Chain A
Amino acid sequence: MQKTKLLNVLIPVLSILLAFVIGMLIILALGKNPAEAIGYLMKGAFGSKTNLANTVVRAMPLIFTGLSTCFAYRCGVFNLGGEGQFLAGSMAAITVTLLIGHEGWWVTIVAVLAGTLMGGIWGLLPGILKTWRGLNEMITTIMFNYVATLFMGYLYTTALREGSVPQTAPVPDTTKIGRIIPDLRITWGIVVAILLGVAIWYFLFYTSKGFQLRAVGFNPVASSYNGLSVKRYMLTAFIVSGAIAGLGGACDILGTQFRLISGYGGGYGFDGVALALIAQLHPLATMAVAYFFAVLRVGSTTMQVGTGVPTSVIDIIQALVIIFAVAGSSMMYLPKVRKFVMNLFEKKEAV
């Protein structure tokens, strides 16, 4: 009800604040001025038009992987394969682009579709293993991540290698996803991401299928007794969730990175899981948290240059946010804590 809704907002916000307090203490312990560090962080993120644009660019892949997690987890599918599905999307997109050999907007569309499809297939495979053979998707999706990463290695070192450096050729200029404003690196990919987020939110809460998908996620037994095909929904969740991550990969390679190199795409998938969980699996909140993560990432570089506080402090803060958010949600199941919080609410209501 109202109280639970309020808690869903309160827990992440408190977690972020608490994580920052600890982060400041760490900075203080390093012998630096925390206020100054935060100042540089903010300046790095919001100081100029370019910096602001960079936060948006940085947020885009995170939004995709976060939404991918949202969709799967809402249906009770614990997809940890965002990493691999994202890469599958990027690889398909660049492979198609380079193989077609032509340039132009139609290649972009084909490549994006190929990326989405491949992401979907990368989700489908563990989905089949789960629905027909009952294998735990947390294990299989992670294993598929390795397959994707290693296959990417094959692409940039051997199959699609260009020249002496282990990397692929770049996406041709006219095939790149266009920028919204020519000066800034923000591409139309972010528009796709936001529209997708709104669409998923609408789907989950305002359509019949979305409603049924959530029911399956909460209680598969009751759902099957009420005539819902649990297997079909779960398999769909695998595919769609993979496709969302794949679309993200395609948008990222065609709009931001342009070529596969060693270490490409690492961490997006798992960051997606973390931020979707912080956002309590709400698609709109997921986008907000993704942006927040991006702000930290972008700002931290300026902070390091300006004050000498290493960027890893920001990694620590991020990790703390995750720990506090997850711990906070679980703590609400402890009777004493629950009682305490409810008492707080009751007092507030009395006032």
Chain B
Amino acid sequence: MNEILRMEHISKQFGDFYANKDINFDVRKGEVHTLLGENGAGKSTLMNVLIGLYQPTEGSIYLHGEKVHIESPAQAVRLGIGMVHQHFMLVEAMTVMQNIILGDKRYKGLFINHDARRKEILELSWRYGLNVDLEAKITDISVGTQQRVEILKALYRGAELLILDEPTAVLTDIEVEGLYSVIEKLKSEGKSIIFISHKMREVLHVSDRVTILRAGKTIKTLEASETDGKELANLMIGRELVECEYRKAEATGEPVIELKHVSYNKASKHNGLNDVSLAVRCGEILGVAGVDGNGQSQLSQIVTGVTMAEAGEVVLKGCRVSHMTAADFIEKNVSHIPEDRNRMGLVGNMTVEENLLLKSTQNCAFCDANGWHLKKKAMRAYAETMRAKYDIRCQSMEQEIRSLSGGNQQKVILARELEASPDLLVAVHPTRGLDIGATRYVRDTMIEARDKGCAVLLISADFDEVLQMSDRIIVMFEGKVMGEYSGKNPPIQAISLAMAGK
């Protein structure tokens, strides 16, 4: 097989810190080559070097055997490198077709020849099995379809080498299957793919070769057929990974929160709740399984006071909630790990320290005179303690939180929410987008909180996560609770059927 890309001895230095150090990486024509590594291992930096966002401090890049200097993403596109980012780069108000042709510089005419463009795109979508409605607006199509649009966009620009950055993180299981078949199609047409991931199973499923990065260095490149998940995991985190089997809690206490026949926006199948009853007790994890967008967001908002139920009763610690705000729920010791950490959990432009203290600046440990003077030293000291305790990796507490990796951002939220020693913890997709190490850490911490008597409501689209962690499991489908199952030896078949609405 001939090689299309070779990156030799790539180093990228930020200040004193090497994000990449002496990395060697190559991709052959028609193969899927996975970059595997924890958050912060240097995968994103390496890809940013490849698409021209960063210039490497040292090292060189060869495309089809020729040395190239990639100075901008636009140049990368001209060289046939297309990237599908983890967070899609689409204009929501525009149609699929408009998004695909947007910014394409090959046709210089004053007017757009829509028919010709449409024909081209349709041909591509047919060839690769990427069926999308070209006239649909981005806001109206599912996340999985948006991803197809991104792939089409890259192909339309003539990409020979596609970078897929954690493409499955946002997809449902069915959509993942669809993506696999698209990848197969792309391979058979001679396209090469760099697949970035940290999920063992899918890595082994789709890759031809796997390169493991750790702490900015290449550890090893392996043939996917000659390795297994355990070996990969060990190489990736650099220590033996213990297969995690959490002890399930059996005796549980009083219910902390109860929902009785709660409804909200009942008419909607995807954004509403329909007659939901449930209770979360002290010292247990109640897992909510279900495909994303079946009312889980609304459920999480109602049990944290962000929105009020339209019908039914919410009982928090024995008191009926009639009109309470998020502030009242926080007052009653409810903690929340929200589903979208950047939008709902963190203030991106504020520092790590400020985000850690977002809820507690009125606390007398951090202020005098009823909030009119902040104890900056106490705040800093507290933040430093949290940094050590929750292993938050950042350059300084003064750093803007948006520059941290996803895993470290999640640790900041975890630190903030769990230090309040909550009576109820509502965790929504707590490990979404995190690597093995961080995932493990988040899960351990939640189990620890449970063992201390905290009631945990775990809402997750990751079925394995729900199965592993929950003491009881309920399944949501189209805003309804389909059934309740024991967390010990859960009936997987029955639960999967319930998730599909049967």
Contacts and interface: CB of A to CB of B under 8 A. Distances in A.
Interface of A: 1-2, 4, 206-209, 211-212, 214-215, 218-219, 221-229, 335-336, 339, 343, 346, 349
Contact of B72 (A206, A222, A336, A346): A336
B383 to A, nearest CB: 13
B306 interface: yes
Contact of A219 (B14, B336, B348, B396): B348
B330 A227 contact: yes
Interface in B362-381: 362, 366-367, 371-374, 376
A1 B336 CA distance: 28
Nearest to B327: A227
Given A207-B371, A225-B336, A227-B359, A218 B395 contact: no
A4 B325 CA distance: 36
B343 A222 contact: yes
Nearest to A3: B15
A221 B398 contact: no
Contacts of B396: 1
B349 interface: yes
B346 A206 contact: no
5 contacts: A206-B376, A208-B361, A208-B366, A211-B354, A218-B350
Given A206-B374, A208-B367, A215 B15 contact: no
Interface in B331-358: 331, 336, 338, 343-350, 354, 357-358
Q: Which 8 A-B pairs have the closest CB atoms?
A: A208-B371, A227-B327, A208-B361, A227-B330, A219-B347, A218-B349, A225-B344, A218-B347
Contacts of B55: 339, 343
B326 interface: yes
Interface string B69-91: 00011000000000000000000
A227 B361 contact: no
Contacts, number: 87
B19 to A, nearest CB: 13
A339 to B, nearest CB: 7
Given A1-B399, A208-B371, A211-B374, A225 B345 contact: yes
Contacts of B325: 227, 229
A208 B325 CA distance: 20
Given A226-B359, A343-B55, 4 more contacts: A211-B357, A215-B350, A221-B344, A229-B325
Contacts of B73: 335
A289 to B, nearest CB: 21
B327 A228 contact: yes
Contacts of B399: 1
Nearest to A346: B15
Interface of B: 13-15, 53-55, 72-73, 304, 306, 325-327, 329-331, 336, 338, 343-350, 354, 357-359, 361-362, 366-367, 371-374, 376, 395-396, 398-400
A247 B375 CA distance: 31
Contacts of B359: 226-227
A224 B54 contact: no
Q: Is the interface of B mostly helix, strand, loop or mixed?
A: loop
A228 B55 CA distance: 42
Tell which of B347, B348, B361 has the most Cβ of chain A within 10 Å: B347
A335 B53 contact: yes
Contact of B345 (A222, A336, A343): A222
A222 B304 CA distance: 13
A185 to B, nearest CB: 35
Nearest to A338: B53
Contacts of A1: 395-396, 398-400
B371 A222 contact: no
A225 B338 contact: yes
Nearest to A2: B398
A228 B359 CA distance: 8
A2 B347 CA distance: 19
Given A1-B399, A207-B372, A227 B345 contact: no
Contacts of A224: 306, 326
B363 to A, nearest CB: 9
Contacts of B367: 207-208
Nearest to A216: B347
A225 to B, nearest CB: 5
A232 to B, nearest CB: 10
A330 to B, nearest CB: 15
A343 B54 CA distance: 10
A209 B330 CA distance: 17
B348 A218 contact: yes
Given A208-B362, A227-B327, A222 B344 contact: yes
Contacts of B398: 1-2
A4 B366 CA distance: 26
Contacts of A335: 53, 72-73
A226 B326 contact: yes
Contacts of B327: 227-229
Contacts of B330: 226-227
A270 B73 CA distance: 39
B373 A207 contact: yes
A339 B374 CA distance: 36
A228 B328 CA distance: 10
Contact of A222 (B347, B357, B373): B347
A337 to B, nearest CB: 12
Contact of B346 (A211, A219, A227, A346): A219
B348 A215 contact: no
Given A222-B345, A222-B346, A212 B374 contact: no
Contacts of A222: 343-347, 358
Contacts of B13: 346
Contacts of B371: 207-209
Contacts of A214: 350
A56 to B, nearest CB: 30
Contact of A208 (B14, B326, B346, B374): B374
Tell which of B14, B54, B366, B374 has the most Cβ of chain A within 10 Å: B374
Contacts of B345: 222, 225
Nearest to B399: A1
A179 to B, nearest CB: 33
B422 to A, nearest CB: 13
A304 B357 CA distance: 55
A215 to B, nearest CB: 5
Nearest to B416: A226
A98 to B, nearest CB: 38
A207 B373 CA distance: 5
A4 B396 CA distance: 14
Contacts of B400: 1, 4
Nearest to A342: B14
B326 A227 contact: yes
B346 to A, nearest CB: 6
A225 B347 contact: no
Tell which of A221, A222, A228 has the most Cβ of chain B within 10 Å: A222
A343 to B, nearest CB: 8
A75 to B, nearest CB: 13
B284 to A, nearest CB: 24
A343 B13 CA distance: 11
Contacts of A223: 347
